[in-house]
Amino acid sequence: MIQPSTFNSNPYALGLRILADQVEATLPQYAPVPESPFRNVWDFLCCAARTKDEAAGQVRQFPAAESRYDYLRELSRLRAESRIFAVEKSRRMLITWWMLGEYLWDTITHVNHANFVGSRKMEASAFLLGGERMLFMYEHIPVTVWPDKPRLEPRGRLESGYTRLECPDTGSYVQAIASGADQLRQYTATNVLCDEFAFWDRAEESWSAMRPTIEGGGHIDLVSTPELGAFMQQLLYD
């Protein structure tokens, strides 16, 4: 690591710093939107995220402050440090809600991000973007904590969800995809979430199509309940 004190005496080090400043100046589209009142995604989840308890039929605050959900904070930290993030889940762990919160935050606070959320069927993917999941979280952000939140507009109604959510204030979007090798071939993705990946019919084909996303600087999230012999098991343990 080059120490700051070496810049005055080392022309090469000074050149590196100037080059880094120039590169950063050409990438304003990746800067967080300054109007956000939250320090980071975890702060957003703690203060603004709401989930739906389908068993009780109630709207609940995302339980970030409860010690029994400390694992979600740790998973959020690990995800931020990884280009490929994979985790197995079970019922009541809130893994899918947490991931959708991460993607919602990214879409409404970063400029020109292309995010993708997929399940084994397009209808299931659209459900994750719809009024029972991601759009639900957005619509239940309390006006008292974010009175001027960016707009999020649904597109492409499909059964109980939408195929796309667009944020006109940031130029970012979330696109629903299904399994298969052709789903991401024409896109450059910032983040790709594959929910219940162990049950995708063409999981290996889909994985092969997603790999170029990593090479271009993207991020892939794989979450699923366990399934013995599934392709995801190979990725995790072989």
Burial label, 7 (beta-carbon count in 10 A; 0-12, 13-18, 19+): middle
Domain-embedded: residue 155? yes
pLDDT at 38 over 80: yes
Residue 97 belongs to domain spanning: 39-237
Q: CATH number of the domain at 93, please.
A: 3.40.50.300
163 in a structural domain: yes
Which one is predicted more confidently, 47 or 23? 47
Rounded to whole angstroms, the Cα distance separating 63 from 73 reads 11
Q: Mean per-residue pLDDT for 7-32?
A: 45
pLDDT at 147 over 90: yes
Residue 28 has pLDDT above 70, yes or no: no
pTM to 2 decimals?
Answer: 0.83
Q: Helix (H, G, I), strand (E, B), or coil: what is residue 219?
A: strand
- Section 208-226 average pLDDT: 86
Please give the pLDDT value at position 32.
52
Q: Is residue 182 part of a domain?
A: yes
pLDDT digits (tens, 9 = 90+) for 165-192: 999 999 999 999 988 767 676 678 899 9
The pairing of strands 191-195 and 58-61 is: unpaired
Is residue 1, in this structure, part of any structural domain at all? no
Range 60-65 average pLDDT: 86
Give the closest residue to 232 by CA, choosing from 209, 192, 201: 201
Please tell me the predicted confidence (pLDDT) of residue 33: 57
Distance, CA of 96 to CA of 117 (rounded, Å) = 11
Number of domains in the chain: 1
Residue 74, domain member (yes or no): yes
Q: Cα torsion at 76, 80, 83, 88 (round to 10°)? A: -10
Per-residue confidence band for 229, with pLDDT thresholds at 50, 70 and 90: confident
Quick one: pLDDT band at residue 27, thresholds 50, 70, 90?
very low
Say what percent of the chain tops pLDDT 70: 83
117 and 126 Cβ atoms separated by less than 8 Å: no
114-118 β-sheet, strand order: 84-88, 219-224, 191-195, 114-118, 172-177, 161-167, 153-158
Q: Is residue 54 part of a domain?
A: yes
**13-27, 45-59, 147-161 — which is least confidently predicted?**
13-27
Q: How confident is the model at residue 6 (pLDDT cuts 50, 70, 90)?
A: very low
Q: End-to-end CA distance of the chain, in Å?
A: 35
> Does 136 map to a domain?
yes
164 inside domain: yes
d(CA 88, CA 185): 26
